Structure 1
Amino acid sequence: MPRRESCSSIWRGWGMSEWTTIAELADTNPGSLPANTDRGFRFRYIDLGSVDDGAIDWQRVQYISYKDAPSRARRVCITGDALFGTVRPNLQSHGYVPGGHIDPLVASTGFTVIRAHEDVADGRYIFFSLLSENILRQSVNAAVGSNYPAVTDRDVRQFRLFAPPVEQQSKIADVLASLDTQIQKTEALIAKLEKVKEGLLQDLLTRGIDENGQLRPSPEQAPELYKDSPLGLIPISWEIRNLDQIADVVDPQPDHRTPPAVEDGVPYVGIGDFDSEGAIDTASCRKVSFSAYEKQKSSFSVTPGDIIYGKIGTLGRPKKLPNGTYALSANVVLIQPSSYKALLFYALNSSRTEKQILDITNTTSQPALGIEKVRKLLFPIPELGEAEEISIRLEKLSDCIQREASRLISLNLIKQGLMDDLLTGRVRVTPLLDQAQATTPA
């Protein structure tokens, strides 16, 4: 068929001629299950819920037979296909089918299946382009509907993208896929470290560390080392204390009135205003007047390492406060430890504290914590030396997780920058790779 002649002709020179439509590079929805499909035919079904932000969650792609499949299970997929989620395209529920799948794959009609013409396009390159700001902007502009804005298959075919020769597309896809691999490995490592931390937190805050620097044997192994308490078994040398015995608990907005928002003011910080690195996201914070900040400052002062704790709406989820100029939301309490500062932060994150919160809030119709309830929360407290050792071990692991989280942010920023450059032709991939090769030691 002559369909590729117009596509090849646009590559005779550089510049805007390299911008073309998806229809010039690929077939869309090239295969569908016919109505007479054997009712016992089994396949893996990719629905919209199994794809999120450019990734197919293959654990959610279930096996199903044709007779039990929803009517939307019709689009046949093969290795190398890109899937464009047509419903709410701003969510970018797009995916890519990599190699290694033996079983038949069928996608929902909520996707447009895009199959690259191999001589002019790389399927991976098309997939990365679907996640670009360029395609996002076009899809949002083309979407129709208020509750469920959607684009049509025809819209998708007409989306325009930068399309250098296929050899360059493949190199660009290699670069971005390599970054994706690093991102996925870092995400997996963070998830693993979080699991380790969860287990360590449970052990250290229930068993502690003995005089030899080892985790104390469990109550099952050495019941003589433990005693009963309102929180269950704790080491014999530990004590149970109320929060207000080891910290000042302050209501930052005792009148419970949220100050009016202003356009250019002081950040008004709540639990949801922290980024993944634990810093206050001042750009997205609600802003209040400087006089509202001064009013709080006249009642209390914040020291770095003080803690806020959600009391209305979002309950718990303690956050450490940094240096800076900001006011505190009426939806939090301020906890200022007089001792055991590091340990208390982790104890506030523990399952024992979460259980106390659940016991309190289960008796109310709306989840909320009065400040007196917060002050009377119970905590198991070791002797000072043991508490410091527990804190050191938890801090080391937390620092490790934080370093990986920072690396993940950096990798995502690098990927976004490369996508902006390479998928628009702003930077050519060949000189970029030549430069990298020239600077790599032999």
Structure 2
Amino acid sequence: MGAVTVNKVAEVSAQYLAELDENAVPSGYKQTEVGVIPEDWDVENLQKLTVLIIDGTHHTPRYTTYGVPFLRVTDIQGELDDSEFKYVSEEEHAYLIRRCRPQKGDLLLSKNGTIGIPKVVSWEWEFSIFVSLALIKLKKNLLEVNYLEQFFKSDFLDLQLAQRAKQGTVTNLHLEEIREILIPLPRNKEEQTAIANALSDVDALISELEKLIAKKQSIKTATMQQLLTGRTRLPQFALREDGSKKGYKQSELGEIPEDWDVVTLGEICNFENGDRSSNYPSAHEFVEYGVSFINAGHVADGLIDLRYMDYIPEHVYERLGGGKVAAGDVLFCLRGSLGKFGVVPEEFGSGAIASSLVIIRPKKHRTTTDYVSVYFKSEFSKEMITLWAGGAAQPNLGARELANFLVPLSSKEEQGCIATILSDMDTEIQALQQRLTKTRQIKQGMMQELLTGKTRLIQPAGSTN
């Protein structure tokens, strides 16, 4: 997508906004059931723009090891993955497509469970579908299939369903409801195509970012496993004083470098529970702002989320006999989502933990906060959680169990180098995730502009703009 298109979409016409301030409907636009759209656009229900809207078979077929693909909602989420397909026999497929035959150029739409997911049939191979998918065959002289796909990716469907629903969340779409969906539509198919292409270009960018992030995360996971087991040694730690290569030894965690140890978490960290006595804050004591009172919902991915933080007054904090945090503490979740944790940053200030957390305070002469954080993101930690949580329906841990977690431990200097490498990889991934979030926001803004005609990629005949 060219820079001219992005700039045009990103900067809404000043004339349009000025006219919108002065009038409910700007010049050249009209009010419709779906909002304000250009005068040379129409609003049509989907049935008028289609040859057929039907769903897949209502019975579960007899699956086969090989045969013809049989698609469900899960198959059209993201890129097609034939390793996840179900298959039916040629005979059953021939029977199923007598009623519902998908073809290239059609649109699939999820109608049960996760509703409103569109997928253009862009392939030639035969397949049949389950009842959870609707098949939409278009009047191709009226409607561009990629434009319709972008419509379903926008908020329009959700808004229309929300207006119709009396209460609750809509989890199923009936065929009649799909047929009645209102589509804001440029009469000029070239404009439909231009809009679809602009939005598809951003979709492609989003997809590439998602793949890149997944690749970086996979590399980081593999790197973490190599560094934390010592299978890959950093050059400055790989040799003995005489220049020979260091070897390995067997341990409770498998093979580790000869100059490493396996220790318990209790040997390298102290633990502190929150105050669970009568001093524990009551619900009525929470205030709009004060001292942070951190619970399991506030920690994830090594961070503490302040957006929905709970607060207690200073005098309530002062009466607590324990569980007061300090910079560098690791706050670990003991119940429910075991393994979640957050690190208290230097600038955090005063705070205390709820009973769902425990403070893990590294012993500075043995280890560092950064290394303990790396450990809790590793497979070692996951295995220890599985071992010590007991496999209950509602798993939980205590400080006593955490203290028994086994940790592969190198020198503090090597720990620091390992943590730095992995932290740098985290920083790169976080930057990509922020870029992805921003790109998705741009896509949402573009859909709002383009699918309502606020920004025109092709000017109407006779326009002087």
TM superposition score normalised by structure 1: 0.77
Question: Matches of 1:210 and 1:93 in 2, distance apart?
Answer: 49
Matched residue, 2:124: 102
Given that 2:304 and 2:342 are in contact with CA atoms closer than 8 Å, whether structure 1 keeps it comes out as no
- CA deviation string 1:271-321 (max 9, x = no partner): 554678x655545x4745446973598745544553222211111133334
Compared CA separation, residues 46 and 301, structure 1 to 2 (3 A):
same
The runs of 5 or more residues in structure 2 that have no matched partner are 1-36, 460-465
Matched residue, 1:130: 152
Matched residue, 1:25: 49
Given that 1:83 and 1:113 are in contact with CA atoms closer than 8 Å, whether structure 2 keeps it comes out as yes
Equivalent in 394, 398, 423 of residue 451 of structure 2: 423
Question: Matches of 1:72 and 1:140 in 2, distance apart?
Answer: 33
Structure 1 residue 71: Cα displacement: 9.7
Compared CA separation, residues 258 and 348, structure 1 to 2 (3 A):
farther
Structure 1 residue 355: Cα displacement: 1.8
Question: Does residue 413 of structure 1 match 2:431?
Answer: no
Matched residue, 1:112: 134
Question: Does residue 212 of structure 1 match 2:213?
Answer: no
Question: Matches of 2:219 and 2:441 in 1, distance apart?
Answer: 27
Matched residue, 1:43: 68
SS at match of 1:163: strand
Given that 2:120 and 2:146 are in contact with CA atoms closer than 8 Å, whether structure 1 keeps it comes out as no
Matched residue, 1:61: 85
Question: How many residues are treated as equivalent by the alignment?
Answer: 405
Partner AA of 1:151 in structure 2: L
- CA deviation string 1:351-397 (max 9, x = no partner): 22222221212365641111121133222221122222212221222
- CA deviation string 1:169-214 (max 9, x = no partner): 1111111111111111111111111111111111111116657347
Question: Matches of 2:448 and 2:179 in 1, distance apart?
Answer: 21
Given that 1:122 and 1:166 are in contact with CA atoms closer than 8 Å, whether structure 2 keeps it comes out as yes
Question: Matches of 2:442 and 2:299 in 1, distance apart?
Answer: 22
SS at match of 2:274: coil
Question: Matches of 1:355 and 1:146 in 2, distance apart?
Answer: 40
Equivalent in 350, 371, 390 of residue 399 of structure 2: 371
Compared CA separation, residues 351 and 138, structure 1 to 2 (3 A):
same
Question: Matches of 1:292 and 1:23 in 2, distance apart?
Answer: 65
Given that 1:209 and 1:216 are in contact with CA atoms closer than 8 Å, whether structure 2 keeps it comes out as no
Matched residue, 1:317: 340
Spell out the pairing of 1:297-376 with structure 2 (5 A cutoff): 299=322, 301-322=324-345, 323-324=347-348, 328-337=353-362, 338=364, 339-362=367-390, 366-376=394-404
Partner AA of 1:408 in structure 2: L
Question: Matches of 1:293 and 1:394 in 2, distance apart?
Answer: 39
TM superposition score normalised by structure 2: 0.74
Matched residue, 2:428: 400
- CA deviation string 1:40-72 (max 9, x = no partner): 9953222123234x7665543333225567998
Partner AA of 2:422 in structure 1: L
Spell out the pairing of 1:254-269 with structure 2 (5 A cutoff): 254-255=276-277, 259-260=282-283, 264=288, 269=294
SS at match of 1:76: coil
Structure 1 residue 345: Cα displacement: 0.8
Equivalent in 215, 223, 237 of residue 192 of structure 1: 215
Question: Matches of 1:386 and 1:313 in 2, distance apart?
Answer: 33
Partner AA of 2:417 in structure 1: E
Matched residue, 2:101: 76
Given that 2:107 and 2:118 are in contact with CA atoms closer than 8 Å, whether structure 1 keeps it comes out as yes
Matched residue, 1:6: none
Question: Matches of 1:362 and 1:107 in 2, distance apart?
Answer: 42
Spell out the pairing of 1:118-197 with structure 2 (5 A cutoff): 118-142=140-164, 149-164=171-186, 165-197=188-220
Given that 1:271 and 1:310 are in contact with CA atoms closer than 8 Å, whether structure 2 keeps it comes out as yes
Question: Matches of 1:406 and 1:79 in 2, distance apart?
Answer: 36
Spell out the pairing of 1:379-394 with structure 2 (5 A cutoff): 379-394=407-422
Given that 2:273 and 2:322 are in contact with CA atoms closer than 8 Å, whether structure 1 keeps it comes out as no
Spell out the pairing of 1:244-263 with structure 2 (5 A cutoff): 244-255=266-277, 259-260=282-283
- The more displaced of 392-401 and 421-430 is 421-430
Identity of aligned residues (%): 21
Given that 1:143 and 1:150 are in contact with CA atoms closer than 8 Å, whether structure 2 keeps it comes out as no
